[in-house]
Structures are given as structure tokens and as C-alpha cells.
Amino acid sequence: MMVGDSCSDVVAGRENGLVTIGVLYGDGDTERLRCARPDFIVKTAEELIPLLTG
């Protein structure tokens, strides 16, 4: 699983066969992050917890 706030984070995760989660609370560009098409997008760290704990 790859969690990141940038397009390059999502691309790196995909290239390595990982499930990708884009977070909108970091320094990355939101529109570019969405264009990278992560498997999941979360707005807060609280939304991330269920995805990490399954």
C-alpha cells in the first residue's frame, strides 16, 4: 500500500503493484493527485485509518 499526497507518489505505487491512497491534506496539488487516479482518496487522516487497518 502506498499513501501519498502527490501524483508521483501515486504513480510510484501503481508501478510497484500497490494499492494507492491519495491524501488531500498534504503539500501536493489536489487536481494532479486526482488525475493520477489513486485507488482511494481521503481528505483527513481519520478517513485513512479504516483503509490501513482493513
Residue 26's Cβ-count burial label (10 Å; 0-12, 13-18, 19+) is: middle
DSSP 3-state of 34: helix
pLDDT of 51 reads: 95
- pTM, whole model, 2 decimals? 0.88
The parts of the chain modelled with pLDDT lower than 70 are none
How many structural domains compose the chain? 1
Q: Which domain holds residue 16?
A: 2-53
pLDDT of 37 reads: 95
The one-letter code for the residue type at 46 is: E
DSSP 3-state of 41: strand
Dihedral of CA atoms 5, 42, 50, 46 in degrees, nearest 10, equals 90
